[in-house]
Structures are given as C-alpha cells and as structure tokens.
C-alpha cells in the first residue's frame, strides 16, 4: 500500500492531538525522556518517536533513533559521541571494542582498539610502526634497482 503525500500531511498535522501522554505540570523541570518549553506542556519523547517512525515508509529509516531527552532540557538532543541511547531516557557509555558517533542507538561500529567511551576511532598502533618501515624498505629496494640499472648501462657503453 502506498501512502500519498496528502495522507502523510494530514497524519503529521494531527500529531499534537494524538500524543497520549502530555504532562500538565510544565512549571516543574522536565524529567528524563520529556521535552518542554516555557509555558507549554511537557511531551514524552518516546511517544514522539512512535509517531514520527512513519518516516521509515518514506525510506528515511528511524529518524528518531539515537535521540536523547536529558532532564531539565527543552529540546531533543542527539546522543553524544562516546555514548549510545537505546531510548530517549537512557544514555549509556559505549562499550570497549566499539565506536559510537553522534546519534547512536545501538553500538555497531567495531573498533578493536577503542576503549570504553572512546570519542574518536582509535588507530591500530602496530600499523603506525609497520607501515613506515615497509614504505622505507620499498623505497630503498627501488633505489637499489635504479642504481644497478645505471651501472649496467654504464658498463655496456
């Protein structure tokens, strides 16, 4: 079944009316998993994710995956580097052996040299030693071949 843009537009225009859990105590700091703005009601982030998950039908995937709603915050935030957020209330440290970029819901990028909570991909330190040695030896071998050819040309003439 295909969905027309008119149907999707009417669905998204009615989002505010279909959120099942809207909190009236907006004067209090918003708890984990909620967003709020001054003078407006607090909205559950997981409910927003469920409503906007229809974007998968359009080929965008789950655009709300990896979104985090920290306490006393009025906006959705992408899960920070070095962490993953399986739901809007939970922020966990990325495990050892994985790299978690912004907006990670599940650690998937394997990085054997990465420590727990790594904020950048770790390079294999062995390669930092082996590659320069390999390049230097290849360069010396090429220079040796060139010297031998020149000597052979000089001897022929």
Cα-based torsion angle of the residue sequence 73, 77, 80, 85 in order, rounded to the nearest 10 degrees: 100
Q: Three-class SS of residue 11?
A: helix
Helix spans in the chain (H): 5-13, 15-18, 45-52, 125-156
Number of residues assigned to the chain = 157
Task: Report the pLDDT value the prediction gives residue 23, as an integer from 0 to 100.
Answer: 47
**Where in the chain are the domains?**
5-110, 123-157
Task: Report the pLDDT value the prediction gives residue 69, as an integer from 0 to 100.
Answer: 83
Q: Three-class SS of residue 58?
A: helix
Cα-based torsion angle of the residue sequence 37, 43, 47, 51 in order, rounded to the nearest 10 degrees: -50
List the single range of 39-43, 106-110, 117-121 with lowest mean pLDDT.
39-43
Q: What is the mean pLDDT of the chain?
A: 76
Global pTM reads 0.58
Name, in order, each residue with C-beta under 8 angstroms of 75's C-beta and a sequence gap of 6 or more: 35
């Amino acid at each position: 079944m295909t969905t027309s843009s008119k149907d999707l537009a009417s669905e998204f225009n009615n989002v505010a009316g279909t959120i099942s859990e809207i909190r009236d105590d907006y004067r209090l700091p918003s708890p984990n998993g909620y967003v709020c703005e001054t003078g407006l009601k607090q909205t559950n982030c997981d409910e927003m994710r469920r409503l906007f998950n229809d974007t998968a039908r359009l080929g965008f995937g789950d655009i709300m995956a990896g979104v985090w709603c920290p306490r006393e915050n009025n906006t959705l935030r992408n899960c920070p580097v070095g962490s993953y957020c399986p739901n809007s209330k939970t922020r966990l440290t990325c495990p050892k052996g994985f790299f978690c970029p912004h907006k990670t819901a599940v650690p998937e990028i394997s990085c054997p040299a990465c420590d727990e909570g790594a904020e950048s991909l770790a390079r294999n330190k062995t390669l930092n030693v082996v590659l320069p040695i390999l390049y230097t030896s290849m360069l010396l071998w090429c220079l040796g071949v060139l010297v031998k050819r020149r000597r052979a040309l000089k001897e022929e003439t």
